[in-house]
Amino acid sequence: MGKPTGFMEIGRKTGVEIPPQERLENFREFHLALSPEDQQAQAARCMDCGVPFCQSGMTLGGMTSGCPLNNLIPEWNDLLYRGQWELALRRLSATNLFPEFTGRVCPALCEAACTCGYTTGSPVTVRENERSIIEHGYEKGYVRPAPPPARTGKTVGVVGAGPAGLAVAAYLNKRGHRVTVYEREDRPGGLLMYGIPNMKLDKSVIDRRVKLMEAEGIVFRTGANVGADLPAQQLLDEHDAVVLCCGAKQPRDLAVPGRDAQGIFFAVDYLTSVTRSLLDSNFLDGHAVSAAGRRVPVIGGGDTGNDCVGTAMRQGCESILQLEMMPCPPTERTPNNSWPEWPRVLKTDYGQQEASSVFGSDPRLYQATVKEFCKDESGHVCGAVISRLESRVTEEGRRAMVPTGEEFTVDCDLVLIAAGFTGCEPYTAESFGVTLGPRGTVADQQYATNVPRVFSCGDMRRGQSLVVWALREGRDAAAAVDRYLMGYTNL
């Protein structure tokens, strides 16, 4: 342990965020990094705690506590504090091949379980430390292509270039298998590319990693829609194993009157259109769904809903309203939500901060949902009837959010549905003959489906989840595929 008293001597310090109204002028990342010296000082706050819950990845209270990747956080924090940046990167890369992603978009489960946070109220800046290590590695040339020294003669097809697919491909390639990644979109990245806005994860970060993977021998085939334009049998004929990593992109809809009105979009389609137009032409092509000058209700209070709020704010919406069915969370932990469980407390994210800065109030309305959409004479959405909700015990004996009878109408011109996802789009799995379950494909604990040689992982297997869980699924699935191909694995 480099500095046993660091947590007592050094206060928590994070990188500066560009002020809300200033960062609304563009779609660039707005979180500025600390200096290397300040980041090393922050790493010194990592305690010599007996049980580092930060890296545990345990399930407590029905949610994950600590890092699902089991990152060796105290070890690389110590190396970072000592200024041994390259060694810190090696230790970080031992469990996470994509820290530039998790260092930007992960909700930092590690920090919520940090012992320093429990004892001092200020957890170690684990996520920023992680991001600084990988960015320093790129800057100094520590991150470079490392193709495998030998090939096994086996080939694997990976369907989907999202975080799970990238992880599967990277690990299997390191093992020496020839890997081809099939992606139906025009760019690799999946959720990372088109589901997460550029200001949260700059797309050059994804391109940089993909180029590195290509230099290591991985082949990416974009515009390859397996199960539609590209037959599943072709992949089975060309590869010794296939891994389905198609995500959980089937959006949850609203079955309410007026849903067929024009101007109502699923969040994923809206965010995709904006990012694609930004990358293709810096919005000159006019292909993005635009919230400019429009009154926008966002239905869904989660991360995707917040991304819609932040995107609509940058486009210049006239007003923004974010609906959440559940009650407002408490501002502090409740007695039945003790550390190191994930804190079920109120979080104000960047989009809500920006809306508050411009319009003077938080855009979220809790315990509310849309009962009906109103259409004008041209069939375009012009209003939404909002129904208030309350928690009650139903006749079946379960607790649910039900209408109170109180209703009101809001004017709107654009509606964004961010109500989550119900599972994968079924056509790819069905083209292979893979049996579908309620959340996605049916795969056992070894990630194998009911079809020989076909595996599945990520959101497609476990349902909608975090990027860090997709990376963990990809890592573990790669080991399962390697064991199938070689009879053992060293992944």
Same domain, 123 and 37: yes
Q: Are residues 260 and 345 in the same domain?
A: yes
CA-wise closest residue to 94 among 67, 71, 128, 77: 71
- Domain annotation covers residue 195: yes
Tell me whether residue 149 is in a domain: no
Domain that holds residue 136: 6-140
Note whether 436 and 411 are same-domain residues. no
Weakest-pLDDT range from 203-212, 235-244, 368-377, 395-404 = 395-404
| Per-residue pLDDT reduced to its tens digit, 156-168 | 999 999 999 999 9
pLDDT band at 396 (very low <50, low <70, confident <90, very high): confident
Q: For the chain, what percent of residues have pLDDT higher than 70? A: 99
Residue 467 sits in a domain whose CATH number is: 3.50.50.60
Same domain, 458 and 316: no
Residues 458 and 386 in one domain: no
Tokens of 57: 């990845």
> Does the pLDDT of residue 4 top 90, yes or no?
no
Residue 125 lies in a domain: yes
> Is 1 within the bounds of a domain?
no
Contact 171, 98 (CB under 8 A): no
Count CA atoms within 13 Å of residue 155 on its CB side: 9
Alpha carbon separation from 405 to 325, 373, 401, 419 (Å, rounded): 15, 17, 12, 22
Question: Per the domain annotation, does 145 fall within a domain?
Answer: no
Asked if the structure places residue 482 within a domain, the reply is yes
Please identify, among 417, 440, 464, the residue that sits at the C-terminal boundary of a domain.
Answer: 417
pLDDT, tens digit (0-9, with 9 covering 90-100), for 436-450: 887 677 878 889 999
> How many domains, in total, are found in the chain?
3
Same domain membership, residue 333 and residue 478: no
Q: Which of 215-224, 225-234, 400-409, 430-439 shows the lowest mean pLDDT across its residues?
A: 430-439
In a domain, 150, yes or no: no
The reply to whether 406 and 286 lie within a common domain is yes
- The string of pLDDT tens digits covering residues 268-320 is 999 999 999 999 999 999 999 999 999 999 999 999 999 999 999 999 999 99
For residue 296, the model assigns a pLDDT of 98
Flag whether pLDDT at 1 surpasses 70: no
**Same domain for 411 and 445?**
no
Residue 304 makes CB contacts below 8 A (sequence gap 6+) with 195, 267, 268, 271, 418, 420
Six token digits for residue 103: 């260092």
In a domain, 44, yes or no: yes
pLDDT tens-digit series, residues 135-159: 999 999 999 999 999 999 999 999 9
Tell me the pLDDT of the chain averaged across its residues. Answer: 96
Q: Are residues 335 and 393 in the same domain?
A: yes
Is 431's pLDDT higher than 90?
A: yes
Strands 368-375 and 381-393: what pairing?
A: antiparallel
Q: Could you tell me the CATH number of the domain that includes residue 88?
A: 1.10.1060.10
Q: Residues 77, 120: one domain?
A: yes
Q: How many helices (H) and strands (E) does the chain have?
A: 18, 17
417, 433, 460: which is the final residue of a domain?
417
For residues 229, 241, 172, 215, the Cα torsion angle rounded to the nearest 10 degrees is -40
Q: Is the domain of 257 the same as that of 329? A: yes
Nearest to 362 by CA among 309, 418, 406: 309
Residue 172 shares a structural domain with residue 214: yes
The pTM for the full model equals 0.96
Write the CA distances from 246 to 50, 226, 305, 463, 464, integer angstroms: 40, 10, 22, 11, 11
Judged against a pLDDT cut of 90, whether residue 2 lies above it is answered with no
Sequence-distant (≥ 6) Cβ neighbours of residue 224 within 8 angstroms: 182, 183, 184, 230
Residue 445 has what pLDDT? 82
